Amino acid sequence: MNVESAPQTGHPRRWAILAVLVVSLLVVVLDNTVLNVAMRTLADPVHGLGATQSQLEWAINSYTLVFAGLLFSFGVLGDRWGRKRFLMFGLLAFAASSLLSAYAHSPAQLIGARALMGVGGAAIMPVTLSIIANVFEPRERPKAIGLWAGAVGLAVAIGPLLGGFLLEHYWWGSVFLINVPIIALGLVAVAILVPESRDPKPGRIDIAGVLLSVLGLVALVYGIVDGGEHGFGRASVLASITLGVVVLAAFIWWEARTTHPSLDVRLFRNARFSASVTAVGLIFFASMGGLFFISFYLQLVRGYSPIQTGALLVPFAVGQLVFSPLSSTVVKRFGVRTTAATGLLLAAATFGLLSTLQVDTPVWIVAVSFFLLGTSMANVMPPATNTIMASLPREKAGVGSAVSNTVRQVASALGIAVLGSIVAGIYRDQVEGATTALPPAARDIASESISGAYGVAERLGQAGKALTGAADEAFVHAMHWASLGSALVALVAVVVVLRWMPGRAQAAPAVPGQAGPVDGRDGSHRDAELAQVG
């Protein structure tokens, strides 16, 4: 039966529901983009918290650690206990942690509040996508997921601009407090519009699988972020990463043998599913690792204010906003493989362009680079995400969403950590000559990071100009290598997509163990749905 001629089976209020889910997603992404422009203010001992470089990194990483560790389990539990219920729980937790963050009196309190925020984000993110999979039928789902992905671009645009405005007119806590009224409206809308949905036949809860996934992901992500901060050669870092890998291997072994798995590992035998998950992970490794350092480049090397930095990130958002909703049309014409591979090639070329940035590069080149990167991700994320979701029946949508989002978060943390280690090592080597005459304590601070060098230079007065100039050159040189690393990772993703992602005309094989009716639809509907995304 042709999908285009099939009767309409989507929820009658599906577009209003999508709007509510987009707002819920905006809150999660908005908060993290706001934090990127607030880092310099938070480091200020007078107007901020006096946070060190390490504490600033953990303000980001504590969220990532908890978020990544709980994403998969919360996606599974949302399928079991009710997605609407989990969404409302996540919004409430996010609001409470936003209040705690806004009124934190020390960096340690902010780090703790951000960790609690990770709990809320982990409950919100997977259920938004799984609710979309349940209220939209296959014909409209690619467009809905494109709009959902475009919301990320909207948040990237709004977040830095809003954060910059608030930082220039109010105290730093306002960047977190802004979440509260948005969440209050979101809770009312969710209660009224979003239908409850869950897996009608969840079976027994896989307690061992849930515990293994949380322990393995937390250990792995902790080792990654700690290694990015202090170096990957330390015994504690290697032990944490090894523990994470071993526990996750035990998780996979258990899931392959239990009669009631949280994750049916046979899904990964489907080349379409595996290639899409891998593409998502690699593009986020490259993009988040590369973009993390651009904030320092714009605010320190180029001297832009938080609101100016936010304005320069708008082209990235525009690229996503314009092209994410259009990606479903492109996929229909050229297929998932061609669309995703083209997007990844554009990303690799963009990172190559970023590797040429200098301390005096015309700002329009930076803006164009951001637009190209946003456009490239808009042609990778929606097709890959829709392919992942279409590989599963509706009642298991939370699993697909959780896998996609978990891979994305772990890859982002890994990208920041690995590329961060590259930047830190090259920066230290390059700036060494300019710090030899400094006292030992000041030398250590200036060698740790570019923000540390700027702090030391401020205390040196006129003599500090030479240090900031050397730090700028050292950081830009280090950033070049990080950008080239991102380009290489994007090219690896191109190979994965071209080799393993089926083309438009190929029908995807049925996922093992999932033959038969799905939500009242026969197998031909599943085949048509998979053909639609490919």
Domain edge (last residue) among 224, 259, 294? 259
**Within a domain: residue 2?**
no
Domain edge (last residue) among 259, 286, 301? 259
pLDDT band of residue 513 (cuts 50, 70, 90) is very low
Domain edge (last residue) among 238, 259, 280? 259
Domain check: are 195 and 300 in the same one?
A: yes
For residues 402 and 83, the answer to whether their CB atoms sit within 8 Å is no
Give pLDDT, residue 113.
92
Q: Of 3-7, 186-190, 445-449, give the range with the top mean pLDDT.
A: 186-190
Write out the two tokens for 310: 């936010």
**Within a domain: residue 403?**
yes
Domain check: are 118 and 233 in the same one?
A: no
What is the average per-residue pLDDT within 161-177?
83
**Within a domain: residue 4?**
no
Mean pLDDT of the chain: 80
* pLDDT exceeds 80 at position 478: yes
Domain check: are 166 and 117 in the same one?
A: yes
Q: Of 163-167, 174-178, 301-305, 359-363, give the range with the top mean pLDDT.
A: 359-363
* pLDDT exceeds 80 at position 199: no
User: If DSSP codes are grouped into helix, strand and coil, which group holds residue 211?
Assistant: helix
Domain check: are 231 and 107 in the same one?
A: no
Calculate the alpha carbon distances from 384 to 127, 404, 490 in Å. Answer: 18, 9, 15
Domain check: are 120 and 246 in the same one?
A: no
> Other CB atoms closer than 10 Å to residue 425's CB: what's the count?
13
Give pLDDT, residue 88.
93
Residues ≥6 apart with Cβ < 8 Å to 524: 1
How many structural domains compose the chain? 2
Domain check: are 228 and 119 in the same one?
A: no
* pLDDT exceeds 90 at position 354: yes
Which CATH number is 289's domain given?
Answer: 1.20.1250.20
* pLDDT exceeds 60 at position 523: no
Give pLDDT, residue 385.
82
**Within a domain: residue 5?**
no
Domain check: are 386 and 504 in the same one?
A: yes
Domain check: are 369 and 409 in the same one?
A: yes
**Within a domain: residue 1?**
no
User: If DSSP codes are grouped into helix, strand and coil, which group holds residue 518?
Assistant: strand
What is the average per-residue pLDDT within 184-200?
85
pLDDT band of residue 368 (cuts 50, 70, 90) is very high
What is the average per-residue pLDDT within 325-344?
89
Domain check: are 392 and 346 in the same one?
A: yes
* pLDDT exceeds 50 at position 71: yes
pLDDT in tens, 10-23: 677 888 888 888 88
Higher pLDDT, 88 or 35: 88
Residue-range definition of the domain harbouring residue 418: 12-205+260-509+521-533
Specify the range with the lowest mean pLDDT, choosing from 372-376, 442-446, 500-504. 500-504
pLDDT band of residue 514 (cuts 50, 70, 90) is very low
* pLDDT exceeds 60 at position 84: yes
Give pLDDT, residue 62.
82
Give pLDDT, residue 518.
35
What is the average per-residue pLDDT within 252-272?
83
Domain check: are 143 and 80 in the same one?
A: yes
What is the average per-residue pLDDT within 148-152?
73
pLDDT in tens, 92-125: 999 999 999 989 888 889 999 999 998 998 888 8
For residues 321 and 153, the answer to whether their CB atoms sit within 8 Å is yes
Domain check: are 306 and 167 in the same one?
A: yes
Write out the two tokens for 96: 């409470």
Predicted TM-score (pTM) above 0.85: no
Give pLDDT, residue 203.
64
pLDDT in tens, 276-294: 999 999 998 998 877 777 8
Calculate the alpha carbon distances from 179 to 99, 145, 175, 184, 421 in Å. Answer: 9, 24, 8, 9, 32
Q: Report d(CA 312, CA 240) in Å as an integer.
A: 38
Of the candidates 175, 203, 241, 244, the one whose C-alpha atom is nearest the C-alpha of residue 79 is: 203
Domain check: are 316 and 433 in the same one?
A: yes
Instruction: Give the rounded percent of residues in the chain with a pLDDT score beyond 90.
Output: 20
